[in-house]
């Protein structure tokens, strides 16, 4: 529903409705969250919050700009306090046009002279507008509005200037006939007698709006009884915020520290919530192209056949074996994509043409039968940039593994499985580790690599490296340097990644361990493919 229609409905609804004042985007949002169905864009509190007087010292466009922020921050309708319309009928026409463009639901104009003075200041001395001139302004506004439900409220200031009930009624009726959708009757008495006298004679000819700032002791039910349509709480959250700002400013000035105020004010995250930072976060994920330094990449080493798997790998490399509906490689790519890793290089060798998935950089290692993992890695290392994940193409793993390595700020992070059959004898990457004392409250946290051995060691060891590693931008540089240094040496041809890691440890480069327990399958050792299912 349009905001204009919402405001019109509030005015026409049979029960008493309320508008709460707001004076900027965040206060408007707070009003909406409190449950109000509409907002009064108060001239007093907007000018006050800008630090100027309620005498048209802020220009009308400055006011409309503030109200646009309020409208953008909310979904409920705003009735703007348009003072006198900021000029004659012609200024009113332009005002209505601009308000409609900014999705403001209605405007209230008062029958005083520009520049206006607040109704609670020097009321008796304030001149009223000529009735006909003011009616022309209302008509002009109604004629120019494009949306039939845009609301124009005419505000009668006769009681404010001490002109009496007769004048108030005469004006209200003239304004109604000129096309006003509602009449705001204002009073500065500390009781509602003027308003109630007016209501006695008005007989519901048009919806009546009141601002009970001064007659705040009058029970709200008295307004209901007299069929008032709309009550405006015109300045109260502004006044509340002034009090709080004064208290906090004085307290911090006095105490010269923040200790005692911290718990009496909202946390910073409440500001972020009100600004709806969550929405921006989601949008960034959707729309922001990764910045070069920020970009994540992956290298999947998938050049080997996996002879142990027999006929399963007769015409495809093991990375393409289907487990359930998807191949191991497809599953890995899906997980990587979920972490916005789209730049993926796959080092292919055996049956490389069978790796026919979209959007991959296929890097060939035709000597896959005679070379080790480092040769494959070296062929792909310059195709990646930014934070990078290196993984073997034959592991089935849970998606959260990526989260734990990517969340770890260390430069080189490996995933080690601490839960696998210690009793079985086989060859793999067995990890010895040491814990950095006192660095974490958590057991299993802050382990670093001491050594990786290929043959299952007899002594106690920490777990098995699963073939997944994260490199920060710096970590990637370390690996590139290592490759650069070693690739011309004969031993490089047979080197595996564990050999590089051991070298790096010897050079006192820290290799951080993230521990998992299970939740992954090494396809070489898979016994029952049907168990893998669709996890
Ligand atoms: C305002 O909120 O700016 C008003 C109401 O116009 S009053 O201050 O009571 O005049
Ligand atoms: Mg005002």
194 lies in the same domain as 288: no
- Cα of 240 vs centre of ligand 1, distance in Å, is 16
Tens of pLDDT along 367-378?
888 899 999 999
- 446: alpha, beta or left, given left = phi > 0 and alpha = psi -120 to 50? left
Mean pLDDT, the chain, as a whole number? 90
Residue 249's domain spans which residues? Answer: 244-274
The answer to whether 233 and 21 are in contact (CB under 8 A) is: yes
| 337 is a domain residue | yes
Q: Please state the atom number of ligand 1 nearest to the C-alpha of residue 54.
A: 3
Question: 299-346: per-residue pLDDT in tens?
Answer: 999 887 766 766 777 788 888 888 888 888 999 999 998 888 888 999
How much is the average pLDDT of 392-417? 91
Tens of pLDDT, residue by residue over 448-484, are: 988 888 876 666 778 888 899 999 999 999 999 999 9
**pLDDT given at position 529:** 55
CB 304 within 8 A of CB 312: no
Mean pLDDT confidence for 284-295:
66
Is the same domain home to 528 and 468? yes
Is residue 239, in this structure, part of any structural domain at all? no
Same domain, 298 and 267: no
What is residue 532's predicted lDDT score, i.e. its pLDDT? 47
* Domain end (from 210, 234, 258): 234
355 part of a folded domain = yes
- Percentage of the chain surpassing pLDDT 70? 91
pTM over 0.85: no
Q: For residue 485, give the CATH number of its domain.
A: 3.90.550.10
Nearest Cα to 134, choosing from 167, 102, 166? 167
- Shared domain check, 216 and 121: yes
Same domain? 528 vs 441: yes
Q: What are phi and psi of 107, to 5 degrees?
A: -135, 145
- Distance of CA 40 from the midpoint of ligand 1 (Å): 9
In which region does residue 438 sit, left (phi positive, over 0), alpha (psi from -120 to 50) or beta (all else)? Answer: left
Across residues 134-148, what is the average pLDDT? 98
In this structure, the answer to whether residues 348 and 221 fall within a common structural domain is no
Task: Identify the band that residue 282 occupies on the pLDDT scale cut at 50, 70 and 90.
Answer: confident
- Ligand 1 centroid – CA 190 distance (Å): 15
Rg (CA), the chain: 37
Among 178, 206, 234, which residue terminates a domain?
234
Q: Is 74 in the pocket of ligand 1 (CB under 6 A)?
A: no
The residue from 205, 234, 263 where one domain ends is 234
178 and 62 assigned to the same domain: yes
268, 224: one domain? no
CA 431 to centroid of ligand 2, rounded, Å: 74
Name 513's bridge partners.
Answer: 414, 447
**Separation between Cα atoms, residue 94 and residue 141, nearest integer Å:** 8
Is 515 near ligand 1, meaning CB less than 6 Å away? Answer: no
Q: Does residue 146 fall inside a structural domain?
A: yes
For residue 381, being part of any structural domain is answered with yes
Ligand 1: residue whose CA is nearest its atom 10: 119
Q: State the residue for tokens 């592991």.
A: 395
Q: What pLDDT is stored for residue 420 in this prediction?
A: 66
Six token digits for residue 376? 């494959």
Mutate to test the pocket of ligand 1, among 79, 81, 239 (most ligand atoms within 8 A of CB): 81
The pLDDT value recorded for residue 534 is 46
Catalytic site positions = 54
Supply the CATH number for residue 120's domain.
Answer: 3.20.20.60
Cα distances (Å, whole numbers) of residue 386 to 291, 358, 381, 454, 484: 9, 22, 11, 30, 18
- Provide the token pair at 273: 């919530």
Ligand 1 atom with the shortest distance to the CA of 188 = 9
- Is the Cβ atom of 119 under 6 angstroms away from ligand 1? yes
Give yes or no: residues 30 and 17 share one domain. yes
One-character DSSP codes across 207-247: -EEE-TTTTTTS-HHHHHHTT--EEEE-SHHHHHHHHHHHH
User: pLDDT tens across 59-112, in order?
Assistant: 999 999 999 999 999 999 999 999 999 999 999 999 999 999 999 999 999 999
Residues 187 and 263 in one domain: no
Question: Based on the domain organization, do 363 and 329 belong to the same domain?
Answer: yes
At residue 290, the pLDDT reads 60
> Rounded to an integer, what distance in angstroms lies between the CA atom of residue 497 and that of residue 74?
56
**pLDDT score of 293:** 46
**Is 198 within the bounds of a domain?**
yes
Do residue 290 and residue 269 come from a single domain?
Answer: no
Q: Is the CB of 81 under 6 A from ligand 1?
A: yes
Ligand nearest to the CA of 121: 1
Task: Tell me if 485 is assigned to some domain.
Answer: yes
The torsion angles phi and psi of 471, rounded to 5 degrees, stand at -120, 130
Question: Which ligand 1 atom sits nearest the alpha carbon of residue 214?
Answer: 9
Of 184-193, 280-289, 402-411, give the lowest mean pLDDT range.
280-289
Is residue 199 included in any domain, yes or no? yes
Structure tokens at 417: 């499985």
How far apart CA 118 and CA 466 sit, in angstroms, is: 74
Number of domains in the chain: 3
Task: Answer whether 235 contacts ligand 1 (Cβ < 6 A).
Answer: yes
pLDDT tens figures, 207-245 = 999 999 999 999 999 999 999 999 999 999 999 999 999
């Amino acid at each position: 529903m349009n905001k204009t229609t919402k405001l019109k409905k509030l005015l026409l609804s049979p029960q008493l409705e309320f508008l709460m004042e707001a004076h900027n985007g965040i206060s408007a949002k707070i009003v909406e969250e409190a449950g109000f169905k509409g907002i009064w864009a108060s001239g007093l509190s907007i000018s006050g919050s800008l630090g100027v007087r309620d005498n048209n010292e802020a220009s009308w466009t400055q006011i409309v700009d503030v109200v646009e922020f309020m409208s953008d921050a909310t979904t409920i309708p705003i009735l703007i306090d348009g003072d006198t319309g900021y000029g004659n009928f012609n200024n009113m026409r332009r005002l209505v046009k601009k308000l409609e463009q900014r999705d403001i639901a209605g405007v209230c104009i008062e029958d005083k002279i520009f520049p206006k003075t607040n109704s609670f200041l020097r009321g008796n001395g304030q001149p009223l507008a000529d009735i006909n001139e003011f009616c022309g302004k209302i008509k002009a506004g109604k004629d120019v509005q494009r949306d039939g439900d845009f609301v124009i409220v005419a505000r009668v200031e006769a009681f404010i200037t001490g002109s009496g009930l007769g004048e108030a009624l005469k004006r209200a009726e003239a304004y109604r006939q000129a096309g006003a959708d509602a009449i705001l009757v204002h009073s500065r008495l500390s009781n509602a007698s003027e308003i109630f006298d007016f209501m006695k004679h008005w007989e519901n000819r048009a919806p009546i709006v009141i601002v009970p700032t001064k007659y705040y002791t009058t029970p709200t039910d008295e307004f209901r009884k007299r069929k008032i349509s709309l009550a405006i709480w015109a300045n109260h959250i502004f006044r509340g915020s002034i009090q709080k700002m004064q208290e906090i400013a004085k307290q911090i000035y006095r105490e010269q520290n923040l200790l005692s105020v911290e718990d009496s004010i909202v946390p910073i995250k409440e500001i972020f919530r009100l600004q709806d930072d969550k929405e921006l976060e989601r949008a960034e994920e959707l729309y922001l192209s990764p910045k070069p330094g920020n970009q994540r990449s992956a290298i999947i080493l998938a050049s080997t056949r996996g002879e142990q798997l027999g006929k399963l790998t007769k015409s495809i490399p093991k990375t393409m074996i289907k487990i359930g509906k998807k191949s191991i490689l497809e599953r890995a790519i899906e997980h990587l994509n979920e972490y916005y890793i789209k730049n993926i290089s796959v080092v292919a060798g055996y049956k490389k043409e069978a790796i026919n998935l979209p959007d991959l950089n296929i890097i060939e290692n035709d000597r896959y039968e005679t070379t080790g993992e480092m040769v494959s890695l070296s062929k792909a290392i310059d195709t990646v940039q930014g934070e990078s994940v290196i993984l073997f193409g034959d592991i089935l793993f849970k998606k959260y593994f990526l989260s734990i390595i990517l969340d770890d700020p260390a430069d080189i992070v490996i995933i080690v499985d601490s839960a696998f059959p210690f009793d079985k004898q086989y060859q793999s990457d067995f990890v010895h580790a040491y814990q950095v004392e006192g660095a974490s409250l958590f057991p299993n946290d802050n382990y670093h690599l001491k050594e990786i051995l290929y043959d299952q060691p007899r002594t106690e060891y920490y777990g098995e490296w699963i073939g997944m590693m994260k490199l920060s931008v710096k970590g990637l540089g370390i690996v590139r340097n290592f490759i650069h240094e070693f690739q011309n040496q004969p031993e490089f041809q047979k080197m595996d990644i564990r050999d590089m890691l051991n070298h790096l440890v010897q050079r006192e480069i820290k290799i951080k361990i993230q521990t998992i327990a299970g939740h992954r399958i090494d396809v070489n050792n898979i016994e029952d493919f049907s168990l893998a299912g669709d996890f």
